Structure 1
Amino acid sequence: MIEMSLKELKRAEVLGKMESQGLTNEQVAQILGVSKRQVQRWEKRLREGGIAGLRHGNRGKPSGNRKEEEFRQRVVSRYRERYGDFGPTFASEQLAKEGLEVDHETLRRWLLEEGIWARKKRRKPYRSRRKRRACFGELVQFDGSPHDWFEGRRSACCLMVMVDDATGITYARFSEQETSAAAMQLLWGWVEQYGIPMSLYCDLKNGYKTLREPTLEEQLAGKEPKTAFERACDKLGVQIVSAYSPQAKGRVERRNGILQDRLVKELRLAGICTIEEANRYLWETFLPQFNERFAVEAEDSQDVHVRCTKETKLKEIFCFEANRVVQNDYTIYYERQVLQIKNDKGFLPRPKQKVLVRKYLDETISLFHENRELKYERVTPARRTKQRAG
């Protein structure tokens, strides 16, 4: 028995009268309320397949609406299970990796209807956005973002971030804290990857710029006090521009917000718990994909970074420097250590002269006098013993 709807049975009856009563296509179309072209299609199907040819082609098959509803439930269920605190855009990207491709606006609508996502209503004071610089490397914004990046899997730490003003290209590195050493490590990484930028836009902080007044000795010598980071930038020819508010360096602040959302969740999904693993993941996986998605073309295609020459020794630039006075026994004191200078083929600074101490980012130390490196060894100072009165 052929299962047909009442509408299909009526259609078969009227089409059957075309031959018996001589109805035209126009008359049948008017009776059924369809176009003449549709009547011709039905007539052909009736002629080729009999009355069964008039059945709807999708009869007995799952409806498209049911398929969509099943897919929707799979997506929503997976979102609840794994991506509950992800925004719709980021969640749609992650779901696509699992083969569940859904447009982020469709996902947003589904989540709103399910009551598991709410639009964020934020009214911020109006600020016009500063125009981007024209060239890549003309100005790079620089900041540290202390945060619980590992969501309790380890202690909170700081993500040091650089964002090019013209393109939005981002480079980052995890460190324990926002320090001069962390800032130099970050800039070193940028220089190795892209070259030396023209200027840096960063906070007015002690780690970046000296805030104290010069000492009397510095005034007499005509020198300005500088941090190790400032000295490194001077040697590279990089100008430091101070930002007096977070809004002034808005691009890197906004980038920090995106990273605190996306990167935190990516680290969670990857099961990463250490700074070493996180930095490797940043450089090898996250940042290439992040820049491909968020970076833009510069207004001017010229790259104004300066490439390092073979003579550029970044280790000698990114370091801490201090002067120390040579004692009568040819020792110097540095960070609670006693360093004994060795006689190297007659080259030896005299007592009361100063030597330059360089402490590198890997914690090693070198001594210099008249631009020549000195040999030395660490010695243990003799302990003073109290003599009993007797």
Structure 2
Amino acid sequence: MKEKETITMTKEEIRRLKIINELVDKKINGPRASIELNLSVRQVRRIKSRFLLSGPKGIIHRGRGRSSNRSMNKDKENIIRYLINNKYSYFGPTLASEYLLKHDQISVSKETLRLMMIKEGVWIPKKKRQAYHHEWRQRRDRYGEMQQFDGSYHKWFGEKESCLLLSIDDATGKISHGVFDKNEGIIAVFKFWIRYIEKNGIPKSIYLDKFSTYKINHKNAEDNKDMITQFQRASKEVGIEMIVANSPEAKGRIERGNKTLQDRLVKALKFHRITSIEEANKYLEEQFIPEFNEKFAVVPKNKENVHKAIDDGVDIEDVFSIKNQRVVCNDYTVRFENNYFQLEQTQPTT
């Protein structure tokens, strides 16, 4: 006597068996069975053939009990686990996936890596935030039409806080220039834009915040148009339009860029063991910015570059320098910061 065999089936497979039995008994036809099972007629024919050949076992999915074709090799899994615990423990899944491919020649999806990192306890899943609707401003059409500019204070490398001055092109999303400095003061900002203009040319406009380096935020400034900052004066001299944002959300591209860099750039600097501002600026310009732009930049609507060349005879370092007006006294002296400077009676004409 043939021994009875026990078959374990899910509720869905039991339902499928019932429908296939009805099909075999000709209570329903193939098209009707396909509708009931939500399968094509061709798939129903194959299941029916397996049922006639193997009985109820033919209904069970043939992949049950077998390892997935996409399952990871154990040796590879162990190597990845070692690396995420010892080399990339401070990375997020997306960045760790990129670095594993680039530096260790190991290809693994960020989702697979995320699950592994959660299991290893090196990544805590984030709760989804409630989505708020913000009206997105359309990108400008051409490269150089608008540069979003900001300074971001952070512990970028080492234990001391420094400031990353950054400009992002509105049309392409490219980092057009970036440099680390001690602060976002006028001298640091002037040095930034001198280098930017030497490298790219003069942009049409700059979109920035109400920080005092860029705009006088005194109530009298609304009525007295002569009350302008050094940066406003220099921008006006070279024909750059200054656009001031009323909130951080208004210049979201540069704000999101800074947030991204506070993750990616900080980890990259730590990974390369960079601890000085000189090394950081060298890495930023020569390696990080080109790689970032290659990954995240978009194609503008219009491929025209609207940066202007510096006019002949214009000394850009002279324009972006601190200038103050003073009155010459009757004795040909000028007072500046509580110091007196004697001028010669005969002055060259300009």
* Structure of higher CA gyration radius: 1
Instruction: Supply the distance in 2 between the matched residues of 1:237 and 1:66 (Cα, whole angstroms).
Output: 60
Which residues in structure 2 correspond to 1:99-118 (within 5 Å)? 99-118=105-124
- Tell me the residue number matched to 1:143: 150
Instruction: Return the offset for 1:269.
Output: 1.9
- In structure 2, C-alpha distance between the alignment counterparts of 1:105 and 1:257, rounded to whole Å: 22
- Secondary structure of 1:324 counterpart: coil
Q: Residue by residue, what CA displacement relative to the aligned partner does 1:73-115 show, whole Å, maximum 9, x if unpaired?
A: 1112111112112111111222221233323233223223434
Distance in 1 between residues matched to 2:219 and 2:121, nearest whole Å: 58
**1:169-318, aligned counterparts within 5 Å?**
169-170=174-175, 171-212=177-218, 224-318=226-320
Indicate conservation of the 8 Å contact 2:208/2:251, yes or no.
Answer: yes
Asked if 2 retains the 8 angstrom alpha-carbon contact of 1:212 and 1:225, the reply is no
Structure 1 gaps of 5+ residues are 1-29, 35-63, 349-368, 372-390
Correspondent of 1:127 among 117, 134, 145 = 134
Conservation of the 8 A alpha-carbon contact between 2:90 and 2:122? no
Counterpart amino acid of residue 139 in structure 1: M
Superimposed CA distance per residue, residues 22-68 of structure 1 (whole angstroms, 9 cap, x where no aligned partner): xxxxxxxx9xx89xxxxxxxxxxxxxxxxxxxxxxxxxxxxx99971
Code of the residue aligned with 1:138 in structure 2: it is E
> C-alpha separation between the residues in 2 aligned to 1:100 and 1:156?
34
In structure 2, give the amino acid aligned to 1:100: I
Q: Is the 8 A contact 1:151 1:264 kept in 2?
A: no
Query: Please, what TM-score do these two structures have when normalized by structure 1?
Result: 0.66
Seen in structure 2, the aligned counterparts of structure 1 residues 113 and 273 have a Cα distance that, compared at 3 Å, is closer
Q: What code does the residue aligned with 2:346 have? A: F
Tell which has more relative contact order, 1 or 2 (C-alpha 8 A, sep 6+). 2
Contact map agreement 2:84 2:117 (CA 8 A) in 1: no
Q: Runs of 5+ in structure 2 lacking a partner?
A: 1-49, 55-68
**Which residue, 80, 83, 95 being the options, matches 1:78?**
83
CA shift at 1:193, angstroms? 1.8
CA distance in 1, matches of 2:120, 2:285: 37
Change (3 A) 1:325 1:285: same
Using structure 2 for the length normalisation, give the TM-score.
0.73
- Structure 1 residues 101 and 324, CA, compared in 2 at 3 Å: closer, same or farther? same
Report what 2:171 is aligned to.
Answer: 166
Deviates more, 1:324-333 or 1:250-259: 324-333
Partner Cα distance (1:123, 1:69) in 2 = 39
